[in-house]
Amino acid sequence: MLEAREAVKNLHAYRPPLAGRTGLRLDFNESTAGCSPRVLARLRSLDAELLARYPEREPAEKEVASFLGLDPAQVLLTNGVDEAIHLLCSTYLNPGDEALIVVPTFGMYAIFAQAEGARVVEVRAGDNFTFPAEDVLAKLSPRTRLIAVANPNNPTGAAVERDALIQIAQAAPQAAVLVDEAYFEFHGETLIDQTFAGQTSIDQTGQIENPFVARTFSKAYGLAGLRIGILAGEARQMAMVRLVASPYNVNAAALAVLPEALQDQEYVGRYVAQVLSNRERLQQELGHLGLHYWPSHANFVLVRIGSAHAEFVRALRDRGILVRDRHTDPGCEGSVRLTVGSDEHTETLIGALRDVVEQLGLRTGLPTEVRA
């Protein structure tokens, strides 16, 4: 009888609620405005010849490298950040190795690490989901071969100081340190400039070659459906990761539109500016409604509803708005994650929130912002 590997049989399925997503989708942190019209126009212009050919990744990779101020040898395009995580796990994790993650966080780090037979070491975030740098350092061992940190983090919206990440990378030279910057555009701080670009900056960080940075076109660029991500790291390490990747991992349509997506920074910038002002607006409103929330550095806000979390999600769904219940994430009991989108969509969300808070009797009357 054919049996899957033990490591695979022990995995918990990650099944995001993808079915029946009709309505205003504030549940997956996608862009609610969609991609640049220039990207759509390029997509519409694709012909049969392009689709008949195997995709060629390198030209788009060069454009992305130049956009990031990196050498093409330091950049690999991937099938979303998901594939970047998978590739790092395949490249660095042996069975029995340890993969360290700070929880709550994005679910795919643990899945890909466990699939390699690695042991996942979870470190709980501090009060108000602050990054527990000291606890991470204390949990390092010679078997630590992967450390994955989302910055900003999902689902909390919390950010990590660059110095803490560098300190961890320096303390664990035997481990690949993935800094997942999927929400970079809404935060604006990155490890890339100082860590990879040019010899001087590498000198500044003490010659470390183990940090990797991931970026995605799924969020601010509105291209989650095309599946395009970026993995950046030191050239010598990236050459190893490249050995594991399929040469055709990113599809031709995605590669064709990528230069347009990058060039239309005005479009992305305008959307990001809207999200930032709407994030502020939503947070203020949550405070007025007396709901606990954690100030966010990303395009979503985590809010504590309490025991009525499932009813809250249902009541919003009844009003045509999808949000994500994070109740089962460590430390997120009773909490729900709301994606922040365009002006119009935030207006709709805030109107519905007022109704639902009234309907469920959630209003406490006290502004209760929880400072991270």
Segment interacting with ligand PMP, rule: CB under 6 A, options 75-83, 163-171, 288-296, 344-352? 75-83
> Strand 321-322 to strand 211-216: parallel, antiparallel, or no bridges (unpaired)?
unpaired
Could you say whether residue 25 binds ligand PMP (CB under 6 A)?
no
Could you say whether residue 251 binds ligand PMP (CB under 6 A)?
no
Q: In the complex with ligand PMP, which residue's Cβ is closer, 27 or 285?
A: 27
Q: In the complex with ligand PMP, which residue's Cβ is closer, 80 or 132?
A: 80
Q: In the complex with ligand PMP, which residue's Cβ is closer, 184 or 293?
A: 184
Q: In the complex with ligand PMP, which residue's Cβ is closer, 296 or 362?
A: 296
- DSSP H helices, the chain, are 6-9, 37-44, 48-52, 58-68, 80-92, 108-115, 133-139, 162-171, 192-195, 199-204, 235-244, 252-263, 265-288, 309-318, 343-360
Fill in the per-residue mask, 85 to 124: x = in contact with ligand PMP (CB under 6 A), - = not in contact.
---------------------x------------------
Question: What torsion, rounded to 10 degrees, do the Cα atoms 106, 83, 210, 184 define?
Answer: -60
Could you say whether residue 229 binds ligand PMP (CB under 6 A)?
yes
Cis check: omega of the bond before 104, within 30 degrees of 0: yes
> Minimal distance in Å, beta carbon 229 to ligand PMP?
4
> Minimal distance in Å, beta carbon 25 to ligand PMP?
13
Among candidate residues 255, 239, 289, 278, the one with its CA nearest the CA of residue 72: 239
| Alpha carbons 113 and 74: distance in angstroms, whole number | 23
Contact call for residues 196 and 70 (beta carbons, < 8 A): yes
Could you say whether residue 30 binds ligand PMP (CB under 6 A)?
no
- Per-residue tokens: 14: 């990650």
- Per CB under 6 A, which of residues 124..153 are in contact with ligand PMP? 150
Q: In the complex with ligand PMP, which residue's Cβ is closer, 216 or 348?
A: 216
Could you say whether residue 82 binds ligand PMP (CB under 6 A)?
yes
Among candidate residues 77, 34, 23, the one with its CA nearest the CA of residue 225: 34
Question: Starting at the edge strand that comes first in sequence, how are the strands of the sheet with 119-124 ordered?
Answer: 75-78, 229-233, 211-216, 176-180, 144-150, 98-103, 119-124
Segment interacting with ligand PMP, rule: CB under 6 A, options 61-69, 74-82, 204-212, 245-253? 74-82
Name the residue whose CB lies closest to ligand PMP: 80
Could you say whether residue 7 binds ligand PMP (CB under 6 A)?
no
Give, in degrees to the nearest 5, the angle at Cα 171 between 82 and 298. Answer: 40
Contact with ligand PMP (CB under 6 A) among 39, 65, 68, 81: 81
Among candidate residues 297, 317, 21, the one with its CA nearest the CA of residue 185: 297
Total number of residues that touch ligand PMP (CB under 6 A): 13
Could you say whether residue 29 binds ligand PMP (CB under 6 A)?
yes
Could you say whether residue 180 binds ligand PMP (CB under 6 A)?
yes
- Per-residue tokens: 256: 């064709």
- The kind and range of the H/E element at 335 are strand 335-339
Contact with ligand PMP (CB under 6 A) among 101, 182, 241, 272: 182
Segment interacting with ligand PMP, rule: CB under 6 A, options 78-86, 160-168, 248-256, 302-310? 78-86
Q: List the beta bridge partners of residue 121.
A: 100
Segment interacting with ligand PMP, rule: CB under 6 A, options 79-87, 233-241, 254-262, 310-318? 79-87
Could you say whether residue 329 binds ligand PMP (CB under 6 A)?
no
Among candidate residues 349, 357, 367, 346, the one with its CA nearest the CA of residue 311: 357
Could you say whether residue 27 binds ligand PMP (CB under 6 A)?
no
Residues near ligand PMP, by CB under 6 A? 29, 80-82, 106, 150, 154, 180, 182, 216, 218, 224, 229
